[in-house]
Structure formats: structure tokens, C-alpha cells
Amino acid sequence: MTGRALMNGTARLLLGVILAGTSLAAAADMLPSWRDTQTRQAIVDFVVATTTPTSASYVPPAERIAVFDNDGTLWAEQPAYFQLLFAIDRVREMAPQHPEWKDKEPFKSVLAGDMAAVAAGGEHAILELVMATHAGNTSAEFEAIVKDWLARARHPQTNRPFEQMIYQPMRELLDYLRANGFKTFIVSGGGVEFMRAFAERVYGIPPEQVIGSSIRTKYEVRDGEPVIVRLPELDFIDDKDGKPVGIHKYIGRRPVFAFGNSDGDFQMLEWTTAGDGARLGLLVHHTDAEREYAYDRDSSIGRLARGLDEAGERGWIVVDMKRDWARVFPDAR
Amino acid sequence: MTGRALMNGTARLLLGVILAGTSLAAAADMLPSWRDTQTRQAIVDFVVATTTPTSASYVPPAERIAVFDNDGTLWAEQPAYFQLLFAIDRVREMAPQHPEWKDKEPFKSVLAGDMAAVAAGGEHAILELVMATHAGNTSAEFEAIVKDWLARARHPQTNRPFEQMIYQPMRELLDYLRANGFKTFIVSGGGVEFMRAFAERVYGIPPEQVIGSSIRTKYEVRDGEPVIVRLPELDFIDDKDGKPVGIHKYIGRRPVFAFGNSDGDFQMLEWTTAGDGARLGLLVHHTDAEREYAYDRDSSIGRLARGLDEAGERGWIVVDMKRDWARVFPDAR
């Protein structure tokens, strides 16, 4: 054994002792915004069972894939998806360059502030707004626009920056899972390039671990400068049945841990928990009208009905925000 | 400072010293199949420059994205793409269930062993073969079929298993980059699910870091069992202009290191090396008719012409297999 190999072995042993100590202590230390309820205990039990080498439920590090929905799971989604609020702000900012919007729906209603009329336009209206505000530029330009908006815009009801509308317990959970060797992914119906503009800074999730809905792009060399151009054509909708398809397409391996909040996440949890061995599926139930919002079966945003009906028989955990979370947002009660 | 924090700090310091030592020593130790040429030196210089915190070219770990083509870059591609050889074997195996193939091109020619006639059918014929042999089953079934084929099939000229037709110097390079904090990705025109069946075992590249061409899939629950079904429709072609598009779509961040071998990789290298800061683009030049194959401008497989013409002015490194590699395949000269 050479000197270096010996030193290496010693350090590895020392590090192993420290990591084992950390991992056992971590549960309470790393999840301070989770109350000491059965929900937190179930999460910790799962992590301990899947990361303890002698456990029957042990999962090798490479297979520790954890997937999270974004809207309503990692950050709030009321009174409207934040990306829609972004699109509306963009329509207002871009209106001077588009005089034709004054007479054209859904832009006309957006500019008049008539959100009921926009909503009445349904999916088609939303799609028109998204294409007009999310396409036509390069990926670098779009990223800069989103970052600029996030730095300026405020939530219409709390007046907080949107990056302060993320759920502190979920941020702690992401850290806790990563500290235990899990690789954390976002799998969201939201636009992938919109989310990538903040996911790394805010959630510690790098762009290559963000999966979302997308529009087509093309590669072009403009005056010797290569760019990725965003086209006004849908490429992929990462919602409902699309979530397991997206997981398979981007990750290529079935997750062992899935966390959502609406029926749009049903198939993601179904696909995840139908795998062999230890699996955990969880749903955030928005039960806290005082600190956040209370909605489920009758909400047009984040509707949760089938998930509530079937969670029990499927062994999924319903996280009761009011009961299980000691704190909702960062730097807030 | 608590006892644990102190211990933690000590271990981290110790580990830091060891890792720094390893990294400096690693160049020669970790790349034994690379001869001590300017090529190897350029790779090592790049890695040292981008990973030394005090260097002007320092790249933070999260941005150390390295992308590799597969066919002709990580493993051989002559006398035909190995995935095409797989498709041909599948046609033969599936023929009893498809009596109509006896009279239908390109299947008729495949079954007659007339590869010239198959080739004459061009891209359309290849696409027909791929759809007939790669779609219609579930992702789990397809993975099992590929793994079974890889375990049995032999290269038609060397009689080696295909997994022994990988380039040993490239495997060492992948390890060397990862030991220096780089995240290694495959970005290949090959089928993503075909490559994912062996990339982790053979290259140490997990499925979520394999980007390739794909067919569409759909999610289905069959008798209570969720499956991903492979459909006979193209989804994405990850070649030429498609490579930067695929990189942007799957990784969402511009790589700093790109390694290819043909003009199909041109745009990948162009996109990578046009970024700010330190970047490295490399091309394997197949110059070794004795140990492997010698081909470039006139080859229908892995054609390399524009890359050779422009490598100099673009600062890309052309790796001369005959000159730069001490060994080509594992367990061979």
C-alpha cells in the first residue's frame, strides 16, 4: 500500500463515519419546516430504508431518482400559474410593437385586463399567448427575459417576488434527498426553458434535471454566431400521460420517489410506484387558506380529485400543508 | 464549532489535499492508452486549466459538461453502424412471424443477405427496418432484447462482442474527465434506448446522460400494469443541426467539451466551442487500417471532410488514431 493509498483509505473511512453520522442525525436537522408528523416520519423511513446498505429495500445511488412537479408542489400556483402571469406581462411589454393586438383576442382582453375573457378562451387562448410571448427569440434572449422578469415581478396577492413563493419544506426535502445520494428532477407541465432560468439558483436543480413542456427549436448560425431559435410550434406537453413519457424520454429510468400535487401528476406517481422494490409517492394537499391557499376537487388550477380518492389504496402519502408544514414560504411564518 | 463540524472540516481538508494530489498525478496514470503526444497534452492542459480554481479559465463544476458522439467516437462503426446490424439480426429473428417480408423490400433483401440492395434503398429502407424492429413493444421488452443481442452477437470482422469494440482510450478519457468533476454525456445519432441498454455498464454513463435519436412512445396501463409503448413514428433525429438542438433540449446548458468523429458532429463542436471561456472540440480521425479502420472524406459511414478542412482555423484537435492511441480496443493491442 502506497502512502497515498493509505491516506486515501483513512480519509475515506473518516468520511464514511462522518456521512453515516450525518445521515442519521439529518432527518430532524435537515427538515426543520416539517412538523414531526407521520408524514415526515414516512419520508425519513423511506430514505433510511433505501440508503442503508444492509436494508432489504436498499437502492443503489445510481437508481435514486426523485421527481418533483413544480407548480403547486415546489412553488405556489395561485391565483394563476406564474408562467401565465409572465406571459401576460410580456404581452403588455410587447404591445407597442404589435398594434394589431388591440383588436385581436386573446391579446385584446389581456391588454384590457379582462382575465375572465382570457380564461373563457380556454386552452387555445393560453396557447396563443404562450407562442406569442415565448417564441421568436433565441434561447439566450429568452433566458435573459425570464430572469429579468423574475427579478422585477411581484406576486399579485402577497407582493413577494415569485422566487419567494417557493415552499421552504420542499426546498429542505430536496436538500435532504440529495444529501442522501438522490438525484432530484423537476417533471412539470410548465415550460422547460422558463423553469431552467431559476431552478438551479432557487432549488439547486441544474438545467439537465429539469423536464417540462417545450416548443420546437432550431439551430442557426447568424453572422458566424450559432444560436438556438425558439419556434412557435409545440414540441412536447409534459402533463398527465406525458409525465411518464417525459420521464422515460429524458431520464430513461423509472424513479423511486415522486412528489406532485394535482391529478396532472397522477400518472407520474402511478408509473413511479408501480416499480419493483421500495417506492414512495406523495401529493401536496393545499389545505391552508390562511398561510397559502385551500383548494382541491373544484379548482381549475391544480385540481386534485382522483389522487385524493385513490391515494389510500395506492399507498401514496397525502401531505396536509396545514398540518404537516411548520412553515410554508422562506422567511415567513 | 461542534465536534462533528470540526471533524467534518478536518475530513474535508484531508480529502481536498488527496483529491488535489490525485488530479495532478492523474493525467499520465489515468490515460495509459494515450501516447504522450501533443493531443494528450492538449486534453490535460484543458482539464487542468478549467479545474484549477485560480486559473483564468476556471469552470465551476456545474458547468463542466462534456459531450461525446457514440458511433465512431466511443465505439467502432464499421463495416456498418452496430445498431443496423442489430436491426438486421432482428429481421431474421422476427421473420417467421412476418411471412409477408419474403416479398417486401427492404426485408426481402435483408433475408436474402443482399446488403447492397438494402443500402440502395437508402434512408427510407433503413427507416423501415428500424421501425419494424424497434417499435411495437414496451420499453422494458426492447431493453431486454438489446441486452440479449449484445450478449450473443459478434462483430462480423473481428468476431469480438460489440461491447469489446469500444475504444479503450475514450473510456479512460471519460473516467479522467469525471474524476475531474466533468459530467459526461453521449449525444449521438443512434437510438437513445438502444444506447441506454449498455452505456452505463460499458461507459459509466447513466441513462439520463444519454441523448440520441428517438421514436415516439405512449403511456398505457395494461391489466393494471403501467407500460411505455414504443410507436413506429419518429420523434427526434439527433444528428448534424439536431445535435445542438438535442443538447439544448436535454441538457439546457452549452457544453465546454465536445468530442466527435464525423461531419454529423460538426454543429455539436461548433455550438460547444463558440461559447465564452475555455472550450475544447476534438475529432477522432480514423487513420489506423491495421488496428481499426482508415476512412474519412469518402466514407458513407462517418464521413469526415468539413471537420478536417476547418479544424485548424476553429482550433479543434484532430486525434490521429494511429499516432495518438497506444491501444485501440480493451484487451487488445
Does B274 sit within 8 Å of A225, measured CB to CB? yes
Does B196 sit within 8 Å of A226, measured CB to CB? no
Q: Which of B62, B208, B251 sits opposite A252 (nearest CB)?
A: B208
**Nearest-by-CA chain A residue for B25:** A4
A40 contacts A324 by C-beta, under 8 angstroms: yes
The Cα A138–Cα B237 span in angstroms is: 21
What is the per-residue pLDDT for B5? 45
Does A183 sit within 8 Å of B208, measured CB to CB? yes
What is the per-residue pLDDT for B273? 98
Is the pLDDT confidence value at B120 over 70?
yes
> Which tens digits make up the pLDDT trace of B203-216?
999 999 999 999 99
> Which tens digits make up the pLDDT trace of A170-191?
999 999 999 999 999 999 999 9
What is the per-residue pLDDT for A77? 97
B50 touches chain A (CB under 8 A): no
**Nearest-by-CA chain B residue for A143:** B252
> Which tens digits make up the pLDDT trace of A21-34?
444 456 778 999 99
What is the pLDDT averaged over residues B223-241?
96
What is the per-residue pLDDT for A21? 45
User: Environment class of residue A113 by beta-carbon count within 10 Å: exposed (0-12), middle (13-18) or buried (19+)?
Assistant: exposed
What is the pLDDT averaged over residues B11-18?
50
Could you tell me how far CA A228 lies from the centroid of its own chain?
Answer: 24
The pTM for the full model equals 0.92
Share of chain B above pLDDT 70, in %: 92
Would you call B9 helix, strand, or coil by DSSP? helix
Q: Which of B15, B192, B210 sits opposite A11 (nearest CB)?
A: B15
- B4 to chain A: which residues are within 8 Å by CB? 18, 21-22, 25
Q: Which of B4, B219, B253 sits opposite A208 (nearest CB)?
A: B253
Does B241 sit within 8 Å of A208, measured CB to CB? no
What is the per-residue pLDDT for B122? 84
What is the pLDDT averaged over residues B170-178?
98
What is the per-residue pLDDT for A189? 95
Write down the mean pLDDT value for chain A: 92
The Cα B179–Cα B18 span in angstroms is: 12
B244 contacts A228 by C-beta, under 8 angstroms: yes
A241 touches chain B (CB under 8 A): yes
What is the per-residue pLDDT for A17? 45
Q: Which of residues 60-119 of B touch A (CB under 8 A)?
A: 62, 65
What is the per-residue pLDDT for A26? 61
What is the pLDDT averaged over residues B180-204?
97
- B186 to chain A: which residues are within 8 Å by CB? none
- Report residue A16's pLDDT band, with 50, 70 and 90 as the boundaries: very low
- Report residue A3's pLDDT band, with 50, 70 and 90 as the boundaries: very low
The alpha carbon of residue B49 is apart from the nearest alpha carbon of chain A, in Å, by 23
- A3 to chain B: which residues are within 8 Å by CB? none
> Which tens digits make up the pLDDT trace of A229-256?
999 999 999 999 999 999 999 999 999 9
The alpha carbon of residue B160 is apart from the nearest alpha carbon of chain A, in Å, by 28
What is the pLDDT averaged over residues A205-210?
98
What would the grid cell of residue B182 be?
A: 466533468
Q: Which residues have CB under 8 Å from B138's CB, separation 6+? A: B227, B228, B229, B230
A226 touches chain B (CB under 8 A): yes
What is the per-residue pLDDT for A328? 98
Is the pLDDT confidence value at B174 over 80?
yes
The Cα B196–Cα B247 span in angstroms is: 17
A14 touches chain B (CB under 8 A): yes
> Which tens digits make up the pLDDT trace of B25-34?
567 789 999 9
| All domains of chain B in start order, with CATH | 24-77+164-324 (3.40.50.1000), 82-152 (no CATH)
Share of chain B above pLDDT 90, in %: 86
Q: Could you write out the three-class secondary structure of chain A?
A: CCHHHHHHHHHHHHHHHHHHHHHHHHHHHHCCCECCCHHHHHHHHHHHHHHCCCCCCCCCHHHCEEEECCECCCECCCCCCHHHHHHHHHHHHHHHHCHHHHHCCCHHHHHCCCHHHHHHCHHHHHHHHHHHHHCCCEHHHHHHHHHHHHHHCCCCCCCCCHHHCECHHHHHHHHHHHHCCCEEEEEEEEEHHHHHCCHHHHHCCCHHHEEEEEEEEEEEEECCEEEEEEEEEEEECCCCCHHHHHHHHHCCCCCCEEEECCHHHHHHHHHHHCCCCCCEEEEEEEECCCCCCEECCCCCCCCCCHHHHHHHHHCCEEEEHHHHECCCCCCCC
**Nearest-by-CA chain A residue for B270:** A226
Is the pLDDT confidence value at A93 over 60?
yes
What is the per-residue pLDDT for B119? 84
Share of chain A above pLDDT 90, in %: 86
Q: Which residues have CB under 8 Å from A34's CB, separation 6+? A: A40, A43, A169, A172, A173, A324, A325, A326
What is the pLDDT averaged over residues B59-65?
97
> Which tens digits make up the pLDDT trace of A289-329?
999 999 999 999 999 999 999 999 999 999 999 999 999 99
Is the pLDDT confidence value at A12 over 60?
no
What is the per-residue pLDDT for B6? 45
A228 touches chain B (CB under 8 A): yes
What is the pLDDT averaged over residues A136-144?
97
Q: Which of residues 149-168 of A touch B (CB under 8 A)?
A: none
Is the pLDDT confidence value at B333 over 60?
no
The Cα A238–Cα A185 span in angstroms is: 13
What interface predicted TM-score (ipTM) does this complex get?
Answer: 0.91
Is the pLDDT confidence value at B266 over 60?
yes
What is the per-residue pLDDT for A258? 98
Would you call B193 helix, strand, or coil by DSSP? helix
Higher pLDDT, B80 or B22: B80
Which sign does the torsion angle of CA A325, A319, A69, B214 carry? Answer: positive
- B269 to chain A: which residues are within 8 Å by CB? none
The Cα A31–Cα A174 span in angstroms is: 10
Is the pLDDT confidence value at B18 over 70?
no
What would the grid cell of residue A222 be?
A: 447568424
> Which tens digits make up the pLDDT trace of B90-117?
999 999 999 999 999 999 999 999 988 8
- A206 to chain B: which residues are within 8 Å by CB? 62, 253
What is the per-residue pLDDT for B332? 64
- Report residue A82's pLDDT band, with 50, 70 and 90 as the boundaries: very high
Q: Which of B8, B14, B250 sits opposite A208 (nearest CB)?
A: B250
What is the per-residue pLDDT for A15? 52
Q: Which of A194, A205, A208 is the best mutation test for B, with the most CBs of B within 10 A?
A: A208
Does A228 sit within 8 Å of B248, measured CB to CB? yes
Is the pLDDT confidence value at A200 over 50?
yes
